[in-house]
Amino acid sequence: MDELNVNQMQTEGKPTVNVLLLAKWTNILFWLIIVSTVANMLTSENVTNAVPLLAFSGRIVNIASTAAYGVILLKIASESIHYRKSAICCFFTAAISIAVMPISDNMEFFIAIPVVIVSIVVNMIGEYYEFMGHTNVLRDVDRTLSDKWFKLWKWYVGTFLGMIGGTVLAVMIPLLGLIIVLASTIGTLVVSIVKIVYIYKMSKVFRNFSAQ
């Protein structure tokens, strides 16, 4: 968005987005992220080894919540085209997860690497468009929170690159590489938590704005 449009919106003092629509559906996004986070915890290696059925249930819930997340993003796509692109990535991610579920353990070894790579790339693209969507719809409602979403994307990319760099470095300098991977992993966890907080704040901002 160019500087002229930004200044126009600030002058008008009225949001160019549907705050009622965004207040409703961003609140649902918040709860879906909570559900997805719990589901991911259930699919951890420890849970899978201890209670396979519980881990399987977690995978089902995770797929369902990912698809539902995409549906909600489509519902607010009228406010930012970025949401539509992010929704497509959600559906693609859910489809990949469904496709690999019936694959046997012996076959997983041969397709694990390409599947993981594709999933990571699609997920990053989806996250980018979602973050940019949030940045755009908040621009004339809460500029500070809008900027925070953009900065959070930079942190997201930074932690991801840190994990890759640390993994490569671990081959040459194991200890240093391990430290970088550990720090990046913690950073990724922090980014995930901050994302949940920001979505909650965003929903609250739109609810308060619509009540004025």
pLDDT value at 89 more than 50: yes
- 73 in helix, strand or coil? helix
Tens of pLDDT, residue by residue over 122-170, are 999 999 999 999 999 999 899 999 999 999 999 999 999 999 999 999 9
Question: Could you tell me the pLDDT band of residue 108, with boundaries at 50, 70 and 90?
Answer: low
Rounded distance, CA 143 to CA 10, Å? Answer: 10
Nearest one of 21, 84, 34 to 61, comparing CA atoms: 34
- Reported as a pLDDT band with limits 50, 70 and 90, residue 83 is very high
Q: Which two tokens stand for residue 92?
A: 């693609």
pLDDT of residue 107: 53
Amino acid 142 reads D
Give residue 1's pLDDT.
Answer: 44
- Angle, vertex CA 69, rays to CA 64 and CA 71, nearest 5: 95
Residue 70 has pLDDT above 80, yes or no: yes
With 50 as the cut, is the pLDDT of residue 9 above it?
no
Taking 70 as the threshold, does the pLDDT of residue 197 lie above it? yes
* Bigger pLDDT: 2 vs 132: 132
Contact call for residues 132 and 153 (beta carbons, < 8 A): yes
